[in-house]
Amino acid sequence: MSEVTVKQLASTVGIPVERLLTQLNEAGISASGADSKLTEQEKLQLLGYLRRSHGKDEEDAAAAPNQVTLKRKSVSELRQPTAAPRSGTAGARPAPTPRSGKTVSVEVRRKRTYVKRGDESSSGSSRRQSGDRSRPQRERAATANAVFDEARRRAELEAMRAEQEARRLAEQEEQERRAREEEQRRREAEEARRQEEEARRAAEEEARKKAELEAADRKPAERKPSERAESPKADKGEGEAGSTGARRADSARPKKGVKKTVEPAEKERAAKKGVRKEGGRMRDVDVSTRTDYEEVDGSAGSGRGLRRKRKSLKPQLQDKHAFQRPTAPVVREVELPESISVGELANRMSVKASEVIKELFKQGMMVTINQNLDRDTATIVVEELGHKAVVADERDAEGTLLDDLQEQEGQFEALQRPPVVTIMGHVDHGKTSLLDYIRRTRVASGEAGGITQHIGAYHVETDKGTVSFLDTPGHAAFSAMRARGAQVTDIVILVVAADDGVMPQTIEAIHHARAAGVPLIVAINKMDKPEANPDRVMQELTQHEVVTEEWGGDTMMVKVSAKAGTGIDELLDAVLLQAEVLELTAPVDGPARGAIVESSLDKGRGPVATVLVQSGTLNRGDVIVSGGEYGRVRAMFDESGTSIESAGPSIPVQVLGLSGTPNAGDDVIVVDDERRAREVAEFRSARTRLSRFEEQRGASLDQLFSQLKEGEQKSVNLIVKADVQGSLEALKDSLIKLTNDEVKVTIVSSGVGGITESDANLAVTSNAIMLGFNVRADASARRVVEEKGIDLRYYSIIYELIDDVKQAISGLLSPIVTEEIIGLAQVRDVFRSSKFGAVAGCMVVEGVIRRNNPIRVLRDNVVIYEGALESLRRFKDDVSEVKSGTECGIGVKNYNDVQSGDQIEVFERTERARVL
């Protein structure tokens, strides 16, 4: 055994700790307290001391006992419940008076003896030792030591086994005792509950009997008077000795005039009296007819073949359902998002969808189960149905991402960043040429038609510092693109030609810059031309509240020449000076945020997006989400096509790896993992698709009755494909603006990239015109176009595309009809003719009267008839026309009420084609 403490040894032996400490000190063992530990040698030393103190020699003290006897005694109590009184059985003895339950003490004694296995060998060795006393003393001592060691080891093992067996038996007895106590408590609880139930039933039965007796006493008038009169006489005729028995019999008999209630117990007693036979046989029949006994095997028990069945506690509740219908209406708190469908709203209120639809019908809304409702409408429906509306916490995937980004904004140090400059101005005022001179490249030579069709993003390393430029197109169709350029920029350079002055697109650029709240720097270009007049330009800019610093304003104005290169350094100085005043800063570390400047679909590289980084650092391999698209940055290139690994604030880069082409102007956010980016992108795509569906549906419902009333509206279906997203949006905006009351421009499909076979098949089914802007159709699409005869047109300049669509729409417009009065005749007299009826003798006052033209008859300057001439005569001759100042006879067709003093007005209708 391992070391034990003094306290544990005292508990095992069964003596007090103080006594054990005294014995240890007497045996020469140092033990300071109850927590001192004792080794095996010290325990054997104590055992030897105790044996010597009881008169045993050293040899006996060292010997182990031959057997160990363990005695255990446990006492438990059994509570015997009181037997329930038996009633209602014919011939049964009276029930004993109830008394408290009897408690019986049960004592269990157990005795186990463990015999030492090595007794025979030990006794044999002892005999051999006694028989060999003639051997030398040294051999006897060695043999004695060996025997002593073996005996001590076996004694230790036997003691350890005995202690473990005793502990196991004690635990087993303790578990049995607890189980018996638990079973006893359960039986007592069941017995108490059964007695309480029987007492309650007895009380209810007694109350019912008392109520019946009281009801019978309230009707004494039902008894006959003769019976009431005879009743006292009969009582008086009885003897004094039998009066008590008579009263007992009267009380047992039912009263006259009262209906006797036969109890089930009485019926049972009567039935058993009729079948009573012999004594022993009667007992068998009597018990077997009872329903509260069941037959069991009597051989194994006490000889009884029948035993009493336990009564069920509440048999009347066994067949009832556990659900209880609520008596009060359930009021629920319904969380309402910004938009919710009718079916989802019904589910959250736990009502049928038909009830929600019926409630909406009452409010004048014709809806279906899949239609979405706004929050205000849903709130009204919820309150009308008796529930409480609660605004839902709309922390969706996008909201959670934006909140996380806002928390991270202040964690990184903001450093100075380069300015982002947008160049704006009218068409052909030299914006791209100016930027071309700064970059020392020839960008303008590659532009179709000499104008910029896309937004270009460049960053330029100059001696003054790094500047990022955004070159936006100057055509009016790209106003939306210019607006996006102003929203992401810090400074706007307004380029105005010195020989042309302020133009409409120049004014739009001023409005965009002012709406974005960015400072403006005016660059007066083309100063090398002889007809340049910068004073006129400055004078025209003052009309739009743009006043130069030379005239006391706050706008810097620089005179430059993109062709000669004059004034470029002064322009860059002005840009950097304005940037220092603005104190432009952005965090360099942390996740990147930016905006999409342009996006396109490359056949070899897939979606390509031009991203302007606004804060943080965009690295290759980052997971980004932009609008409804997401992806991992597989590669990044600068404006010259060089691959780069990272881009800091104010640096535009081209990014590969997105799932699609995002819209120009969408934000770019770096997220932690691709799963989260996919969730945000799918949420945005679903929201955009839903809003587009609602807009189309709303427009169709609003225009339904007007179209039915005015006839079918003419429409021009278009399929537009462009090379980049920005050009596509500009084309769509310009084409949709061509819609008027008679002709509607419908863009059936639009996209970035080449024209495919699916686009051609869609054009066949929708009878649409296909327009390609800087894109071409593939072989399969060309084959479908040739077979079906689809109208396919290619364009590289936006003017030509819009003009052609205008001409197509103009061909569908109804012509413009104008009326012109060419003559006026005054009626002097009316003649009657058998052939022509009433003929008016007239004098031509103005213009000329022609026979084939329509006329109107005016009386007091009011039109009373409109028709045609039947005859026009000059004397007896028919003439085709009569000029002013000449008399003539006029016969009006199908009208005979011409009177003297009327006027006949002759006019002609002219038609001309309508143009947009």
pTM of the model: 0.44
Terminal CA-to-CA distance of the chain, rounded, Å? 112
CA angle 520, 524, 525 (to 5 degrees): 125
The response to whether 611 counts as a known ligand-binding position is no
Q: What distances in angstroms separate CA 116 from CA 68, 119, 120, 157, one per listed residue?
A: 8, 6, 9, 10
Last residue in a domain, options 778, 812, 846: 812
Tokens of 527: 């100063």
CA angle 151, 152, 154 (to 5 degrees): 65
CB-based contacts of 766, cutoff 8 Å, min separation 6: 717, 719, 748
Angstrom distance (rounded) from CA 731 to CA 660: 20
The response to whether 641 counts as a known ligand-binding position is no
User: Do the Cβ atoms of 655 and 608 come closer than 8 Å?
Assistant: yes
Does 834 lie in the same domain as 808? Answer: no
Tokens of 712: 């079918």
Last residue in a domain, options 761, 788, 812: 812
Residue 381: per-residue pLDDT: 93
Does 795 lie in the same domain as 736? Answer: yes
User: Do the Cβ atoms of 674 and 703 come closer than 8 Å?
Assistant: no
DSSP letters, 638-695, are -TTS-EESEE-TT-EEEEEEESS-PPTT-EEEEES-HHHHHHHHHHHHHHHHHHHHHH
The response to whether 432 counts as a known ligand-binding position is yes
Last residue in a domain, options 185, 206, 240: 185
Residue 517 phi, psi (nearest 5): 70, 35
Domain count, the chain: 4
The response to whether 475 counts as a known ligand-binding position is yes
Helices 119-131 and 137-217: crossing angle in degrees, nearest 10, is 150
Does 838 lie in the same domain as 887? Answer: yes
Q: What is the number of alpha carbons within 13 Å of residue 873 lying toward its C-beta?
A: 13
Does 827 lie in the same domain as 901? Answer: yes
**What ranges make up the beta strands (E) of 23-179?**
37-38, 67-80, 102-115
Angstrom distance (rounded) from CA 809 to CA 3: 108
Residue 323: per-residue pLDDT: 62
Residue 257: per-residue pLDDT: 42
User: Do the Cβ atoms of 594 and 654 come closer than 8 Å?
Assistant: no
The response to whether 472 counts as a known ligand-binding position is yes
In a domain, 138, yes or no: yes
Rg (CA), the chain: 58
Helices 479-487 and 725-736: crossing angle in degrees, nearest 10, is 130
pLDDT in tens, 257-309: 444 444 444 444 544 444 444 444 444 444 444 444 444 444 444 444 445 44
The response to whether 280 counts as a known ligand-binding position is no
Residue 123: per-residue pLDDT: 46
CB atoms closer than 10 angstroms to residue 484? 26
User: Do the Cβ atoms of 596 and 609 come closer than 8 Å?
Assistant: yes
The response to whether 430 counts as a known ligand-binding position is yes
Does 826 lie in the same domain as 808? Answer: no
Identify the domain containing residue 766 by its residue range.
713-812
The response to whether 428 counts as a known ligand-binding position is yes
Q: Write out residues in the chain with pLDDT < 70, as ranges.
A: 1-2, 55-68, 80-101, 115-147, 218-327, 393-398, 407, 409-410, 440-455, 472-487, 692-713, 812-814, 913-916
Q: Are strands 887-892 and 646-647 parallel, antiparallel or unpaired?
A: unpaired
In a domain, 774, yes or no: yes
Tokens of 299: 């051989």
pLDDT in tens, 15-24: 888 888 888 8
The response to whether 622 counts as a known ligand-binding position is no
Chain-centroid distance, C-alpha 515: 37
In a domain, 470, yes or no: no
Q: Is 822 exposed, middle or buried (0-12, 13-18, 19+ CB in 10 A)?
A: middle
In a domain, 526, yes or no: no
Q: Tell which residue, 600, 626, 601, has the closest CA to residue 726.
A: 600
Angstrom distance (rounded) from CA 873 to CA 850: 11
In a domain, 757, yes or no: yes
SS3 state of residue 179: helix
User: Do the Cβ atoms of 599 and 607 come closer than 8 Å?
Assistant: yes
Residue 304: per-residue pLDDT: 46
Angstrom distance (rounded) from CA 225 to CA 692: 98
Query: Buried b / exposed e across 203-223, counting CB within 10 Å, b at 16+?
Result: eeeeeeeeeeeeebeeeeeee
Does 802 lie in the same domain as 749? Answer: yes
Q: What distances in angstroms separate CA 311 from CA 92, 190, 291, 306, 455, one per listed residue?
A: 20, 11, 11, 15, 93
Does 798 lie in the same domain as 872? Answer: no
Residue 774, domain CATH: 3.40.50.10050
Tokens of 118: 């090595």
User: Which residue's entry shows tokens 């009573």?
Assistant: 276
Does 723 lie in the same domain as 791? Answer: yes
In a domain, 581, yes or no: no
Does 807 lie in the same domain as 850? Answer: no
Residue 276: per-residue pLDDT: 47
In a domain, 23, yes or no: yes
| DSSP 8-state class, residue 897 | -
Does 60 lie in the same domain as 138? Answer: yes
DSSP letters, 566-610, are BTHHHHHHHHHHHHHHHT-EEESSSS-EEEEEEEEEETTTEEEEE
Residue 409 phi, psi (nearest 5): -65, -40
Query: Buried b / exposed e across 561-578, counting CB within 10 Å, b at 16+?
Result: bbeeeebbeebbebbbeb
Does 161 lie in the same domain as 69? Answer: yes
The response to whether 272 counts as a known ligand-binding position is no
Residue 868, domain CATH: 2.40.30.10
Does 808 lie in the same domain as 821? Answer: no
Angstrom distance (rounded) from CA 344 to CA 381: 13
Which secondary-structure segment (H or E) carries 479? helix 479-487
The response to whether 431 counts as a known ligand-binding position is yes
The response to whether 39 counts as a known ligand-binding position is no
User: Do the Cβ atoms of 114 and 67 come closer than 8 Å?
Assistant: yes
